[in-house]
Amino acid sequence: MTFCLADATSMRLLASRLDEAAEEITRLQGASVAVGLPITAAPELAHYEGPLRNLVEWCHTSAAEIRRRAAVAAQADLIGWSPAGDNLAYDALMTAAAGGLDDQLAAFDTLGEDGDVAAFFAALTPVQALGVALARAAQVGARAGVPFELRFAANRQLVRQAHAEAVRVGDQAAAARYTRLLNPDRQLLLFDPRGLGKIAEVKGDLATAKHVAVFVPGTGNHLANYLAGSEGTLQTLHGAAAGLSVSTATILWMGSPLPQSLGAATLDLQADRGAPELRDFVDDLRLAPEVRTTLIGHSYGSVVTGHAVRAGLHPDNLVAVASPGWGVTSVDELNAPGTKLFAMRHQGDIIKLAPTADETLGVLVPLPDTVAGHGDDPVYMAGVERLSSGSEAHPVFGIDMDAHSDYFGGSEAGRLAGLNLARVIVGDDYETYEEARAAL
């Protein structure tokens, strides 16, 4: 159902006219002697002073209300109405703009951060729930307890807003990027274009999945290069896992800024900052206890995952891929006895030569462990099972400069590495490094 409602521009114009009328009435009432006596100064007009003041207040109040509704209508304009398409989102926002969801929006606004948002949305009709989610997209997109489909819809609306802003300022690259993120198949659990940007995308049906993997990429990744890099990793990893079990969902998480240089990657600072964000993100998914969860970090992403586990996140599996360290020197420091630990590294990966920051910077400037250094290498850590990376069949005694990013497809070793990771995700019979070596 659609409404015969003025567009956002017309509504804002009406609001401006009301404010202008209020200002003119106020001016006439309080006119100086140079202009003339106030219009209510004459005794026969004095009794109009009160009603005129009420009229001024009504004009300002109505203008504010119309602007509020215009802001919602503007969100509908970003979607547009199609005579042949699915107009559920557009109609839901226009219902809100017309006042049809005033009670529901007011109730949502009074929930606060600790309110039972799951129960709130469960009590609404589908149209009401969608309208609230879209009208309050910034508050709904990353909120725990909101049904996943509504979070997807809210984040899609946030992408539309970012796209409109990119078009407005003439940023063609960003506009093209956001156009791709608006593909109907996208399922975003988090989106924020500010700064380096934040994004979390899921492949598969998260609501019914029995196996859920969360992948954190490494140094140099950010929103602007997501579609040219990490998104491909997500697709490859999910494709391999879903090929083994259709009851799989795979999430790529960039919910906190990652280091953008090798120098910054030697420090713990961004892992410390990202750890509680990752912990809360996974906890806020509110997955059923029987869901098998796997947390995978590549390169510096593994540092983030290690810090998140130390901060209280306890997945069923923790996998370090091409890792400089989890930020610990023993598995006991992770304080996650129920988590099975894995590590994977190609034989020629240059990461094996990377010293910890406390071995380099600490020679000149003593640095506490909480600032620099990523602990011991998980590949050699007692209590960690080393996975085959597919590179064992072709030993590399030197350094393969492409190996560090080759774990998720690409070469034959990369394909085998991705498949082995998928086996861990679904609980299949994975291959260890020792088994691969013994088979040579």
* pLDDT for res 363: 41
- Rounded to two decimals, the pTM is 0.87
Helix (H) or strand (E) holding 76: helix 49-79
pLDDT tens track for 77-109: 899 888 877 899 999 999 999 899 999 999 999
Backbone angles phi, psi at 252, to 5 degrees: -100, 130
Helix (H) or strand (E) holding 249: strand 248-254
* pLDDT for res 1: 34
In the chain, the domains with their CATH numbers are: 8-100 (no CATH), 194-438 (3.40.50.1820)
Helix (H) or strand (E) holding 417: helix 412-426
* pLDDT for res 341: 98
* pLDDT for res 367: 42
* pLDDT for res 358: 46
Calpha distance 407→199 (Å, rounded): 22
**What are the average pLDDT values for consecutive 10-residue runs of the chain, which has 440 residues?**
57 78 75 48 68 81 80 88 86 91 95 91 96 96 96 98 96 97 96 97 97 97 96 96 97 96 88 96 96 97 97 97 94 95 92 61 42 80 95 77 85 93 96 91
* pLDDT for res 5: 52
Backbone angles phi, psi at 298, to 5 degrees: -105, 130
* pLDDT for res 371: 45
Pairing of strands 248-254, 211-216: parallel
Pairing of strands 292-298, 211-216: parallel
* pLDDT for res 348: 85
